[in-house]
Amino acid sequence: MAQDISLDERIIFALDVSNADDAKRWVETLEAHTKFFKVGLQLFLGGGFDIIDWILKRNLKVFIDLKFFDVPETVKLAVAALADRGVTFATVHGNDAMLRAAVETAQGVQILAVTVLTSLDEADMRDLGFECSISDLVFSRARRALEIGCSGVISSGLEAARLRKELGDGFLVVVPGIRPVRNVDDQKRTVDVRGAFENGADYIVVGRPIRDAADPVAIIKSMQSQIQSVLSSS
């Protein structure tokens, strides 16, 4: 786990909204407490690079989560379009050739390889034709991504501990699917904040538990307190 990340960057707030106005309201509400924001497919289609530029001009960080998956040349051109934009992270959800194309043209953007979506469980993977366990698939994809030169991986907190144990600390682990209690929505492989960092997360991506809270700022502060507790004891 990287120790030199400031506490106000450990939580990446997922701007999972459909338009720039809603995104700006959330940034203005939370920017005093967290400095990192995720722009995913929904918001990118509604706000494009304009909302990314607006966030960056406020001296905040952006994780653009578009999960590039296409022929390697298209992935290469897509990642090249992020050059000089100031984006910190971008995701690729593909095979070795796609990851290699992204890494070779990244130009300052840190490429994160998506291992297995946290909305999938073992039954889903069997339906997709995978015969190995999710843990083994995550490990295999992470190992290859790091050999190719990716800066890190997107992994559920459930698999993060194995990645740290077998692959070391020289890469980033970004954990989505954070839920404070037993989960009932579409995220199936979830952990809480403390579990994510105890298992080796560098960052967590959090949307609904903050967005749906009566007091979103209080939730962020509580999460940061839990993160600090884990970091202090490690």
Q: Where are the beta strands (DSSP E) in the chain?
A: 11-14, 36-40, 61-68, 89-92, 110-114, 152-154, 172-175, 203-206
CATH topology of domain 7-233: TIM Barrel (3.20.20)
pLDDT number for residue 121: 63
Over the stretch 2-15, which tens digit does the pLDDT of each residue have?
668 999 999 999 99
pLDDT number for residue 124: 64
Over the stretch 161-203, which tens digit does the pLDDT of each residue have?
999 999 999 999 999 988 664 544 445 556 899 999 999 999 9
pLDDT number for residue 126: 67
Q: Is the per-residue pLDDT at 101 higher than 60?
A: yes
AA letter at 6: S
Residue among 181, 180, 174 nearest 160 (CA): 174
Over the stretch 115-163, which tens digit does the pLDDT of each residue have?
866 665 667 656 766 666 777 888 888 999 999 999 999 998 889 999 9
Q: Is 38 an active-site residue?
A: no
Choose, from 24, 61, 67, 188, the residue flagged as catalytic. Answer: 67
User: Is residue 190 within 8 Å of 180, Cβ to Cβ?
Assistant: no
Over the stretch 23-51, which tens digit does the pLDDT of each residue have?
999 999 999 999 999 999 999 999 999 99
pTM over 0.85: yes
Give SS3 for 41.
Answer: helix
Averaged pLDDT, 212-220: 95
